[in-house]
Amino acid sequence: MNKSLPQDSVGLVSPQLIHFDEELALRSGKVLQGFDLMVETYGKLNADKSNAVLICHALSGDHHAAGYHSEEDSKPGWWESCIGPGKPIDTDRFFVVSLNNLGGCAGSTGPISENPQTGTFYGPDFPVVTVRDWVKSQVMLMDKLGIQQWAAVVGGSLGGMQVLRWAISYPERLHHAVCIAAAPKLSAQNIAFNEVARHSIISDPNFHDGRYLEHQTSPKQGLMLARMVGHITYLSDNAMRSKFGKTVGDFEASGSNFGRDLRSGKLSFGFNVDFQVESYLHYQGERFSENFDANTYLLMTKALDYFDPSVDFDGDLSKAFANSSCKFMLVSFSTDWRFPPERSRELVNDLLKAGREVTYVEIEADEGHDAFLLPIPRYMNAFSAYMNRVFRENCSNAT
Amino acid sequence: MNKSLPQDSVGLVSPQLIHFDEELALRSGKVLQGFDLMVETYGKLNADKSNAVLICHALSGDHHAAGYHSEEDSKPGWWESCIGPGKPIDTDRFFVVSLNNLGGCAGSTGPISENPQTGTFYGPDFPVVTVRDWVKSQVMLMDKLGIQQWAAVVGGSLGGMQVLRWAISYPERLHHAVCIAAAPKLSAQNIAFNEVARHSIISDPNFHDGRYLEHQTSPKQGLMLARMVGHITYLSDNAMRSKFGKTVGDFEASGSNFGRDLRSGKLSFGFNVDFQVESYLHYQGERFSENFDANTYLLMTKALDYFDPSVDFDGDLSKAFANSSCKFMLVSFSTDWRFPPERSRELVNDLLKAGREVTYVEIEADEGHDAFLLPIPRYMNAFSAYMNRVFRENCSNAT
């Protein structure tokens, strides 16, 4: 049955919807009366439930982190590079839990779900959720799964922020925190890019104050623009130069042409797409705008902006980790200008100041922020080595 | 009369519209049958016409580079920091010529001008103009002014690209080329940001395929978004951190709060503006969208994208400067990530390879690309010293 799927994949997987009857009091003061989480699991939970690993997703991610939903699927889950048999998060050893966060648009309760109070879509009435709220819902999920402690909580980017929140708010519920390509809070520049994305969505005439589903439409242009801006920030200048500067056209160059490949070999002298990079951005933006919910995009960017665990500790992040008891692995990538290595180093310093044990790896990679999704050898080796240690130290029936 | 205006300003100035009857054949193959250029001049042309300096403007600039149009003017011209008595471009010594480029929206022939063939606005029918076309029109301007050689051609950003084109295409018409915060061609990342800006304008429902003036409307939202994206790239992450991280609110921090100042002291838990940086971007975007023409913005960004003088020399930029005879000054700014120092250093290398004389200054400054507009002491000193040399060497009646 799996013969057409890669051997190092978890293969065919099925998501499951888990319902929670309990109330969830959110940071905003609002309360969700029950909710659903869409979840996938890979690997087997061992007898003493010591081998569970939680995956936290980033802005546009979801529960489908690894494997395929059908043999016809052209693409696997978003973190196939890191989750599977023999991979860093080795599904022959770990029981991996991956969920779509609240406010998402891939099955968990969010803006496209029915609002029980109105009988129609939540839309813009879905409350603003924070990283803290997500982690709270993830605790409820682990309780429902009967897991007392995660061997590790793992995430990249916005997922890495959830990892930090776990270590701060639920120190007794995890052994290891693996925080990749993240930062302890956004800078003004990061927030500015998010605001451009939000404004492009909100100012799209098809947004209808967020009630576009009732209007049977979608702010596609706004969402496309938001994704185009985002995409530029996920790639490095270097990555773009090599991605769009391979062939030669009108701009034949002896050395690098700085990613200036032309789409049709000559300039249009109009406002059409001239360069390959423009064409690529359009494609990425269009594809995304067909598959993602605009209200969810707004929610995810606000969660990013709001995250700053130092707020409760007079701005001193090291104090936030005073009660953490897990061990930490941090990874950053040299050309990630969205969350540059400098931000991870600050975090390392604060963790050390708090007396925590930290393993920090800075990976040389041209791929920018997106590097965390890619099977870069040094990254895979370091990640695997750390997860081996997680297994050895914490999974009591380890062989 | 000038008593209310600063002593180191050129004071009150008046633009003048200069008409050209001659045809201008453009790089696109199209031909302009006559055109107007809006021009300002500061200082006095000396007897042998050896003290003339040309100023080339950047994306959103115009002819009004220095001084005030009335005593009530709250703001002077865009390069007031560098042009005036005793300033780097000293109007007690130099005769300074500044123009609005073709395709602009400040008086020179462009999309908001009347198209003689239709009797209505050019709008989207105004041809795509390139840096080469602009410099060609600037040569016609200097001929009309009776100037044989510029003592210097000076410009920052897109203006610096015009300076390079002068040195390559009209070597005998200038003594010095002063190219500030520029690059010999855009990289894929630069082009990508420009394409986001263009797409936001073009996808605004009020754009009407560029014929918004006939529809008595304007793609203001699109232009606002374009400017917001642009503005982020003009500032450095550092500059934003200090600009928006001065006070303390909900996010009181012991050290830097990374520019996370809140607008109202607390989070909105909605999609309103929460952070000062968002509010600032909105303000900048709105103000710009009320004062700038969308078709001009499209034209200017395409001129930026298309510029690559190495194209005519098999991609080898050093060959482009083989016939240049002027001397060069290049300036870059440490936190300019739009045109980083690395790009200026490449240019220095190519100029040296071509046997040209180059003075290169790299200025430590937190302000990003916008630094070229600011009176940063080391920048002013280096710029003044170089312009003193220009005066000594080239203005034959120098005292």
pLDDT digits (tens, 9 = 90+) for B340-391: 999 999 999 999 999 999 999 999 999 999 999 999 999 999 999 999 999 9
Instruction: Give the pLDDT of residue B397.
Output: 64
Using alpha carbons, list the distances in angstroms from residue B93 to B303, B379, B391.
Answer: 32, 20, 8
Best mutation target, B232, B250, B273, B297, to test chain A (most A CBs within 10 A): B232
The ranges of chain B annotated as CATH 3.40.50.1820 are: 16-185+307-394
Parallel, antiparallel, or unpaired: how do β-strands A358-363 and A327-333 relate?
parallel
Per CB-CB distance under 8 Å, the chain B contacts of A221 are 203
Cβ neighbours for B260, distance < 8 A, ≥ 6 positions apart? A185, A186, A187, A188, A191, A308, B244, B245, B251, B253, B275
Tens-place pLDDT, residues A305-317: 999 999 999 999 9
- Per the DSSP assignment, residues forming a β-bridge with A25 are A31
| 3-state class (DSSP) for residue B116 | coil
Tens-place pLDDT, residues B257-300: 889 999 988 999 999 899 999 999 999 999 999 999 999 999 99
Tens-place pLDDT, residues A59-116: 999 999 999 999 999 999 999 999 999 999 999 999 999 999 999 999 999 999 999 9
Q: Do B243 and A188 touch (CB under 8 A)?
A: yes
Tens-place pLDDT, residues B120-132: 999 999 999 999 9
From the centroid of its chain, how far is CA A262? 32
CB A59 within 8 Å of CB A100: no
Q: Using the predicted structure, report yes or no on whether residue A244 has a pLDDT greater than 80.
A: yes
Tens-place pLDDT, residues B1-33: 445 899 999 999 999 999 999 999 999 999 999
Instruction: Give the pLDDT of residue B399.
Output: 52
Instruction: Give the pLDDT of residue A249.
Output: 40
Instruction: Give the pLDDT of residue A254.
Output: 36
The ranges of chain B annotated as CATH 1.10.1740.110 are: 194-296
Is B1 an interface residue toward A (CB < 8 Å)? no
Instruction: Annotate A337-346 with b (16+ C-beta within 10 A) or e (fewer).
Output: bbbbbebbeb
Instruction: Give the pLDDT of residue B11.
Output: 97
Q: How far apart are CA A358 and CA A351, in angstroms?
A: 7
Q: In 3D, which of B98, B100, B82 has the Cα closest to residue B90?
A: B82
Using alpha carbons, list the distances in angstroms from residue B149 to A107, A319, B143, B245, B297.
Answer: 69, 66, 10, 48, 31
Q: Using the predicted structure, report yes or no on whether residue B252 has a pLDDT greater than 60.
A: no
CB A114 within 8 Å of CB A310: no
Residue in the structure block whose two tokens are 């046997």: B355
Is B209 an interface residue toward A (CB < 8 Å)? no
Q: How far apart are CA B76 and CA B54, in angstroms?
A: 19
Parallel, antiparallel, or unpaired: how do β-strands A52-56 and A150-156 relate?
parallel
Which CATH number is B194-296's, of 1.20.810.10, 3.40.50.720, 1.10.1740.110, 3.40.50.300?
1.10.1740.110
| Residue B248 pLDDT class (50, 70, 90 cuts) | very low
Using alpha carbons, list the distances in angstroms from residue B376 to B83, B133, B299, B316, B366.
Answer: 14, 32, 31, 34, 10
Q: Using the predicted structure, report yes or no on whether residue B103 has a pLDDT greater than 90.
A: yes
Q: Do B281 and A195 touch (CB under 8 A)?
A: yes
Cβ neighbours for B3, distance < 8 A, ≥ 6 positions apart? none
DSSP line for B133-197:
HHHHHHHHHHHHTT-S-EEEEEEETHHHHHHHHHHHH-GGGEEEEEEES--SS--HHHHHHHHHH
What mean pLDDT value characterizes chain A?
94
Q: Which residues 17-46 of B have a C-beta within 8 angstroms of A?
A: 27-30
Question: Domain B16-185+307-394: which CATH class?
Answer: alpha beta
Parallel, antiparallel, or unpaired: how do β-strands B16-25 and B31-42 relate?
antiparallel
Other beta carbons less than 10 A from residue A205's beta carbon = 13
Residue A128 has its nearest CB partner, among B250, B269, B308, at B269
Residue A78, burial from CB neighbour count under 10 angstroms (0-12, 13-18, 19+):
buried
Tokens of B8: 């180191």
Tens-place pLDDT, residues B130-146: 999 999 999 999 999 99
Q: Using the predicted structure, report yes or no on whether residue A206 has a pLDDT greater than 60.
A: yes
The ranges of chain A annotated as CATH 3.40.50.1820 are: 16-185+309-394
Q: Do B225 and A228 touch (CB under 8 A)?
A: no
Per CB-CB distance under 8 Å, the chain A contacts of B305 are 274-275
Instruction: Annotate B117-128 with b (16+ C-beta within 10 A) or e (fewer).
Output: eeeebbbbebbb
Instruction: Give the pLDDT of residue A272.
Output: 87
Instruction: Give the pLDDT of residue A257.
Output: 85
First CA to last CA across chain A, in angstroms?
Answer: 29
Q: How far apart are CA A166 and CA A131, in angstroms?
A: 10
The one catalytic residue in A9, A60, A108, A157 is A157
Q: How far apart are CA A379 and CA A333, in angstroms?
A: 9
Q: How close A129 gets to chain B, by Cα (Å)? A: 8
What mean pLDDT value characterizes chain B?
94
Instruction: Give the pLDDT of residue B265.
Output: 86
Q: In 3D, which of A256, A132, A238 has the Cα closest to residue B308?
A: A256
Other beta carbons less than 10 A from residue B247's beta carbon = 12
Is A164 an interface residue toward B (CB < 8 Å)? no
Best mutation target, A258, A286, A298, A301, to test chain B (most B CBs within 10 A): A258
| Residue A245 pLDDT class (50, 70, 90 cuts) | confident
Question: Domain A16-185+309-394: which CATH class?
Answer: alpha beta
Is B11 an interface residue toward A (CB < 8 Å)? no
Q: Using the predicted structure, report yes or no on whether residue A248 has a pLDDT greater than 50.
A: no
Per CB-CB distance under 8 Å, the chain A contacts of B311 are 250-252
Instruction: Give the pLDDT of residue A398.
Output: 57
Question: What stretch of H or E contains B363?
Answer: strand B358-363
| 3-state class (DSSP) for residue B103 | coil
| Residue A343 pLDDT class (50, 70, 90 cuts) | very high
Tens-place pLDDT, residues B312-349: 999 999 999 999 999 999 999 999 999 999 999 999 99
